[in-house]
Amino acid sequence: MKLKISLALLLGASTLFANQALIQKAKNSGLEAIPTDKKEWMKLVDTDKNNPITDAKIELGKKLYFDPRLSRSNLISCNTCHNLALGGADGVPAAIGHGWTANPHHLNSPTVYNSVFFKAQFWDGRSPHLADQAQGPIQAGPEMAAPPALVEERINSIPAYVQEFKTAYGKDVKVDFETITSTIALFEKVLVTPSRFDEFLEGNDKALTKDEQEGLNIFLNKGCTACHTGIALGGTMQPFQIAKQYTFINVGDFSGDENGMVKTPSLRNITETAPYFHNGQIWSLNEAVKEMGSVQLGINISDAEASKIVTFLKSLEGKKPDITYPKLPASTDKTPKPTFD
List pLDDT tens digits, range 207-261: 999 999 999 999 999 999 999 999 999 999 999 999 999 999 999 999 999 999 9
- Residues 339 and 141: their CA atoms lie apart, in Å, by 13
Q: Check residue 14 and give its pLDDT.
A: 56
227 is in an annotated binding site: yes
Phi, psi (5° rounding) for residue 333?
A: -65, -20
Torsion of CA 230, 278, 181, 116, to 10 degrees: -10
Domain spans, the chain = 28-39+193-316, 41-189
278 is in an annotated binding site: no
From 40, 59, 143, 153, the catalytic residue: 143
Which percentage of the chain shows pLDDT scores above 70? Answer: 95
Neighbours of 85 (CB within 10 A): 10
Alpha-carbon distance values, 78 to 90, 130, 152, 201, 239 (Å): 11, 13, 16, 32, 29
106 is in an annotated binding site: no
Q: Check residue 270 and give its pLDDT.
A: 98
Under CATH, what is the fold of the domain 41-189?
Answer: Cytochrome Bc1 Complex; Chain D, domain 2 (1.10.760)
**Do 123 and 110 form a contact (C-beta atoms < 8 A)?**
yes
42 is in an annotated binding site: no
Fold match between 28-39+193-316 and 41-189? yes
- Select 28-39+193-316's CATH number: 3.40.50.300, 2.102.10.10, 1.10.760.10, 1.10.287.610: 1.10.760.10
Q: Which of 220, 199, 192 is nearest to 117 (CA)?
A: 192
**Do 87 and 111 form a contact (C-beta atoms < 8 A)?**
yes
Q: Does 143 qualify as catalytic in the annotation?
A: yes
**Do 99 and 270 form a contact (C-beta atoms < 8 A)?**
no
- pLDDT surpasses 80 at 129: yes
Give me the DSSP letters along 94-149.
S-EEGGGEEPTT-PPPPP-TTGGG-SSBSTT--BSSHHHHTHHHHH-TTTT---HH
